[in-house]
A and B are shown apart, each in its own frame.
Chain A
Amino acid sequence: MQGSRVLAVDLAGDSVKARNGSMVAYDGQMTFKRMSGGGEGLRGLVTRRITGEKMTVMEVQGKGTCWFAERATEINLVRLTGERLHVEASNLLCTEATLRTGTEFTGLRGASEGHGLFTTKVEGQGWAAVTSDGPAVILRVAPGLPLRVDPGAYIAHTGNLKQSFRTDVTWRAVVGETGGESFQIEFEGDGLVYVQPSERRTFAGDA
């Protein structure tokens, strides 16, 4: 890491997958290869096209150091050891080649974010870099300790979590008086949730 907004990756012949166009500098020998459909093969390509969870990825291979950055957003490193990371495609910057990525159905929550009904999952062993608007706050969820998150601030989660969409829309909302925080994602189970200190514009409003 260089600061918290630039990610430096040292490569020694191995490769990483990174979002297209996120390389800001490199030294040594590097090749950049565009991978259609997030490098998930034809099936992945088609799935992503259909699901709208678009992700243009390049494979970076070579020897040297490569620096990645994305619109000066904060970069959070997530170490995966076999578990699964769920992340919005727009927040995934870079993954080690050892990690597999795929799409997954999330249901109503995705729709409320204007992010579509699907999210990206990352599995395997290695590092993944996740971007956030402002440094992410990592919150633990344990049994009996549910967490509710604003859909616009959610970026990723790991572990075995059940998410459900929660509303407290009542008749008051219908007459135009809402609590303003009517839409939330509830996480139950055991795991970590990454939240950014900022909210995307969401379909559900200022939820």
Chain B
Amino acid sequence: MTTGPVVWDPSTLPTDDNVNPYAFSVALNGRWFLQKGKMVAYYGNITFHPIGYGPLDSLISTSFHSPTHVGDWVVAEGQGHMILADRAYDVNSYDLEQGNLTVRAGNLLAFAPTLALKQSIIPGFLTLIGSGKFVAASNGPVHFVEPPIRVDPQALVGWADCPSPCHHYDHAYMRGVLGGVRRLTGIGGASGEEHQYEFVGAGQVLLQSTEVLMNELVAVEPGHTVPAQSAQANLGALGRQLGF
């Protein structure tokens, strides 16, 4: 390495853009929603509030509608630069304009409060509606494909503008005597690709380049007792761990 590494400070840090493919800088002036544990460093005067924080009530009522994920999210408030990153995965920002986009809950890092977060009817996915910027992570670069398409559930990052996917099970392969043996014993059978999500209609489907799901961090650490109220919040994490 002949040139020195780049040194960042608040005057050189990009405004709402990537620092490198794995880190994203948000120039905060006001409020942003943030998934817990995705902030790695910040300059300036920023405080982090849980979703249940009283003064945020009006914001929450307009922008956050996901009861099962309440425990996973915080609101960053103040002025300064925040650096977001997620387990050294590729991080990208997307601008949404009067659109809707659904993304795997664990892949969504942060979003501007001009967007409204809703819970998808597919467990473990969150839908963003409105206009604004959000930041999402993927294991490897994201590929955009257009429906009709069938995708592997684990490679799915999210989808935009299309109707919700349906589950496609490769039944033909599991049919008949041979198929029965395959299904019951797993011998010579399961290719591992029997379960697929099927997308039809107009829109875009976002895929990551791996089928390895991110190892989700569990919001409550071992050794801490789980307060009753967050048991529901953990459903989101549980769902993700089950691979939904």
B-contacting residues of A (Cβ < 8 Å)?
1, 74, 76-77, 79, 133-135, 137-140, 142, 145-150, 152-153, 168, 172, 175-182, 192-193, 195-199, 201, 203, 205-207
Contacts and interface: CB of A to CB of B under 8 A. Distances in A.
A137 B1 CA distance: 16
Most interface-central of B20, B88, B221 (chain A CB within 10 A) = B88
Contacts of B39: 150, 181
Contacts of A133: 87-88
B184 interface: no
B48 A168 contact: yes
B36 A168 contact: no
A176 B230 contact: yes
Contacts, number: 132
Please provide the 7 A-B residue pairs with the shortest distance between their CB atoms, ordered closest to farther. Answer: A134-B88, A197-B85, A180-B36, A206-B37, A176-B227, A179-B48, A153-B40
Given A177-B50, A180-B36, A199 B87 contact: yes
A141 to B, nearest CB: 8
A198 B37 contact: no
B111 to A, nearest CB: 15
B193 interface: no
A153 B50 contact: no
Contacts of B22: 134-135, 197-198
B213 interface: no
10 contacts: A137-B23, A139-B9, A139-B83, A168-B47, A172-B50, A180-B37, A180-B219, A195-B83, A196-B85, A206-B37
Contacts of A145: 9-10, 43
Contacts of A76: 5
Nearest to B84: A197
A157 B5 CA distance: 14
Contacts of A201: 217
A180 B50 contact: yes
B182 to A, nearest CB: 36
Interface string B29-51: 00000101101111100011110
Interface string B42-86: 110001111011000000000000000000011010000001011
A70 to B, nearest CB: 14
A100 B234 CA distance: 47
B88 A198 contact: yes
A134 to B, nearest CB: 3
